[in-house]
Amino acid sequence: MIVVTGGAGFIGSGIIWALNLRGMTDILVVDEADDSQGIKNLTGLSYTDYMEKGEYLEAVLGRKLGQDPEAIIHMGACSSTTETNSTYLNSNNFEYTKHLAEYSVEQSIRFIYASSAATYGDGSAGYSDTIAKLPNLTPLNLYGLSKHNFDLWAAQNNLFNKVVGLKYFNVFGPNEYHKGDMRSLVCKGYAEILKTGKLRLFKSHRREYADGEQVRDFIYIKDVVQMTLFFLDNPELNGLFNIGTGSASSWNSLGDALFSAMGLRTNIEFIEMPISIRDKYQYHTEAEMGRLHRAGYDRPQTSLADSVRDYVQNYLKDGKYLSV
């Protein structure tokens, strides 16, 4: 059995989809059933059982699971970059992950967990996934800090020779519909363009970046799940790894790809960036992918234009989810 925490969420349900495509259905989904929108992500997928995240943690702490799984793929977390409750983030993102990691190491269970590119902060310390450089990073928000704190804890306890941490960059694609303001620009922009005929992007507040030329490492969910399962397929590999494309694209480029996928001419309006996020805004993210490639991952990645086209035409257009 494979446990996928956050299995009703965006990346978690994508991982279950990819496992199903391999013919694997002996999966325990751990999540929160009161998230009715997220549960829709599971509708077209196959799995053996479902547990509430609190119930699962109690079973882990009491070592009362009955059957130890082959692997725990831990995607469950509060992923809101604007969350201001540090106590909640510490409990949900740090302590929960810590308990699962300790259990997995104790029972020799494969443990793969989600970290985040938010740990890199403004990028001034670079985007290297080298463990020795972790102390140099300064996240810009509490979400990033909660993820960074676990990375640091794992390093301090010499766990990266036993577990895998994955620093996901800007993931987009089907099954993110429930994420509200945390949805990708492609998802939110598609609805905006249908309604208004234009796409609004934030103006730049740094001289070295023109409006819309702030850049991100955008990566499609279908590529993300393949990278994640690479570590399930290769249990001898451990450590901390970036999950991105290694190539930054501007918001303008993403907007062009979205309009093109919709068969429309680009029409972008620039608006003021809210003051509340100006000091915490990442103007540049770009994953260093050398360590993942040296580990043996060599699968070609989908281009930005092809990713957006697939998302728009095969999912957003008809409101579809990942299914098998």
220's enclosing H/E stretch is strand 218-220
- CB-side exposure of 1: number of CA atoms within 13 Å? 16
Distance between CA atoms of 293 and 301, rounded to whole angstroms? 12
- Is 143 tagged catalytic? yes
43: which 2 tokens? 């509708």
Residues contacting 218, CB < 8 A, separation 6+: 169, 170, 172, 184, 245, 249, 254, 304, 307
Query: Catalytic pick from 53, 98, 179, 280?
Result: 179
Beta bridge partners of 73: 4, 112
Does the annotation mark 179 as catalytic? yes
Task: Select which of 113, 143, 190, 311 is catalytic.
Answer: 143
CA distances for 72 relative to 60, 80, 157, 201, 317, angstroms: 12, 23, 19, 38, 34
CA distance 100 to 75: 11
Q: In angstroms, rounded to a whole number, what is the distance separating the alpha carbons of residues 238 and 136?
A: 21
DSSP, collapsed to helix, strand or coil, labels residue 236 as coil
**Region of 296 on the Ramachandran plot (φ > 0 left; ψ -120 to 50 alpha; else beta):** left
What is the bridge-based pairing of β-strands 215-216 and 249-250? antiparallel
First to last CA, the chain: 19
Could you list the active site residues?
A: 143, 179
